[in-house]
Amino acid sequence: MMEKVRILIADDESRMRKLVGDFLKKKDYEVIEAADGQEAVDKFFEIKDIALVILDIMMPKMDGWQVLKEIREYSKVPVIVLTAKGEEKDELNGFELGADEYISKPFSPKILVARVDAILRRSNAIGEEKRFEKAGIVLDETAHSVTIDGDPVELSFKEFELLTYFMENEGIALSREKILNNVWNYDYFGDARTIDTHVKKLRSKMGEKGDLIKTIWGMGYKFET
């Protein structure tokens, strides 16, 4: 029998944990709950093979930002941030710290589960082996690794997906909408700054090779060697 995929929900509201947990259990996920930030960190490191974390920001003992920092020290596991804070600076802070998704409360549990499905499909989708080598950049999807001129580059889950999509579509102008639909893999209800934030971080990690991702003003981006 196959083991169920484990998801950690960290939220100090028991009602919210139950609501989200019930929807995830219906899709046959195994749900692990944490009622505060410290418990979330403890459980994340105690329990093996957690495939995804759903993380509230406003929690006692340790807030979600701190939990995210602790997790990112050791793991690239996909993290969806849930928060009542809908301000742009909070959202940008979440992406800066390595969040993969950002959902403001109140939200639809069905949309949340759709996003969970999409992220897990992509993070576990090994499928055919894909390897790209362009201009000194080597991206190996199976190993989930990137090197530039032989040096390994540490990318977050979303940055890796974004670079893969750019390299798959070398020389093609990609609109922000197209990038959102393909990399985030669902109808996105946010706006273009999500992409711009990720592209900015990706470029900075790529050093001089970041210039290969061209901005097409008023439209989107193009990867060109």
Domain harbouring 196, CATH code = 1.10.10.10
| Per-residue pLDDT tens digits for 20-64 | 899 999 888 999 999 999 999 999 999 888 889 999 888 888 888
- Strands lying side by side in the sheet with 101-104: 30-34, 6-10, 50-56, 79-83, 101-104
- Domain shared by 82 and 169, yes or no: no
Q: Is 147 helix (H, G, I), strand (E, B) or coil?
A: strand
Containing structural domain, residue 94: 6-124
Tell me if 1 is assigned to some domain: no
Q: Which residues lie below 8 Å from residue 19, measured CB to CB, with a gap of 6+?
A: 109
* DSSP H stretches of helix in the chain: 14-26, 37-46, 64-74, 88-96, 109-124, 157-168, 176-179, 193-206
Separation of alpha carbons 134 and 149, rounded Å: 10
Higher pLDDT, 3 or 225: 225
Cβ count near 177 (within 10 Å): 14
pLDDT at res. 176: 86
Mean pLDDT of the region 183-203: 75
Looking at the structure, do residues 179 and 200 belong to the same domain, yes or no?
yes
pLDDT of residue 31: 92
* Nearest Cα residue to 162 out of 178, 151, 147, 149: 178
What average pLDDT does this structure show over 155-184?
86
Total domains present in the chain: 2
**Of the candidates 157, 213, 162, 155, which has an alpha carbon nearest to the alpha carbon of residue 183?**
162
Both tokens of 192, joined, read 């273009």
- Write down the pTM of the prediction: 0.61
Asked if residue 202 and residue 110 are part of one domain, the reply reads no
